[in-house]
Amino acid sequence: MNSFWDAWSAYLPVLIAATLVLIGPLWQLTRHAVTLAHEAGHAIAAVGTGRRLTGIRLHSDTSGLTLSRGKPRGPGMVLTAAAGYLAPSLLGLAGAGLIAVGQLPVLLWGSAALMVVMLPFIRNFFGLLVLVAAGGAFGAVAYYGSPDLQLLFGYVAIWLLLFGNLRTILEAARNRSGRSDLDQLRTLTHLPRAVWTLLLVAVAVGTGVLAWRAQYLG
């Protein structure tokens, strides 16, 4: 760790991110970032499994929707459905790993590049605003930010995804509308919602532990 990133200050981004996730009014704003990562996960999985990505929508109520065409069942569809709740945690862990090996610029510019790649698939104006705001924030910090600011921003973004994803999974577990990703996974696999909830929570917690180890040791 450098002089700024000593043992006590490693807790600062964790505390900031926890505040952004646990305080209701702040969460209503920062949840858009988690939704963006969630929908990016659906999109990446859809393309990776050979489905045709047709559009992404991000709504002002913090919900989102990713549409793709392909087989309505099978492993590809299961992975696409599960990827939404896997992506924020996995992206957070990947970010912590990049910083740990001295690749903070790759994290910042790579995140901005991901927003650019998603632009052609956005199908509503609010989604465009969220994408531009998020991409602009990463780009501005990468270009103008001091090394200390870049490090703090990077870790806050990582922990926002890690904590925020865990909260969205728990919120989905309480959602009985029948339209959540958990309901879709239950329909596709015939496994109970509780099983999927436990699996996704385990991934969210496990990636958080690994990210902390990468942050502290890095």
Residue 33: name the closest of 129, 113, 144, 123 by CA.
Answer: 129
DSSP state of 19: H
Q: What is the mean pLDDT of the chain?
A: 94
Residue 212: name the closest of 14, 6, 33 by CA.
Answer: 14
Sign of CA dihedral 77, 123, 177, 60: positive
Q: What is the mean pLDDT of residues 50-57?
A: 96
Task: Note the pLDDT tens digit of each residue in 125-184.
Answer: 999 999 999 999 999 999 999 999 999 999 999 999 999 999 999 999 998 888 899 999
Q: What is the mean pLDDT of residues 80-88?
A: 97
R_g of the chain, CA atoms, integer Å = 17
**Whole-number percent of the chain with pLDDT over 70:** 95
**What single letter denotes the amino acid at residue 103?**
Q
Q: What is the mean pLDDT of residues 28-47?
A: 97
217 pLDDT higher than 80: no
Helix H or strand E segment including 68: strand 64-69
Q: Give the bridge partners for 79, in sequence order.
A: none
Q: What Cα–Cα distance (Å) separates residue 162 from each residue in 89, 92, 144?
A: 5, 6, 26
The count of other CB atoms within 10 Å of the CB of residue 184 is 18
Tokens 């890095």 belong to: 218
Is pTM beyond 0.85? Reply is: yes
52 pLDDT higher than 90: yes
Give me 82's structure tokens. 């599960």
218 pLDDT higher than 90: no
Three-class DSSP category at 128: helix
pLDDT category at 1 given cuts 50, 70, 90 is very low
Sign of CA dihedral 151, 157, 158, 160: positive
Query: Is residue 143 within 8 Å of residue 105, measured between CB atoms?
Result: no
- Give the model's pLDDT for residue 179: 83
26 pLDDT higher than 70: yes
- Give the model's pLDDT for residue 49: 95
Sign of CA dihedral 196, 200, 202, 203: positive
**Whole-number percent of the chain with pLDDT over 90:** 89
**What single letter denotes the amino acid at residue 119?**
L
- Give the model's pLDDT for residue 216: 74
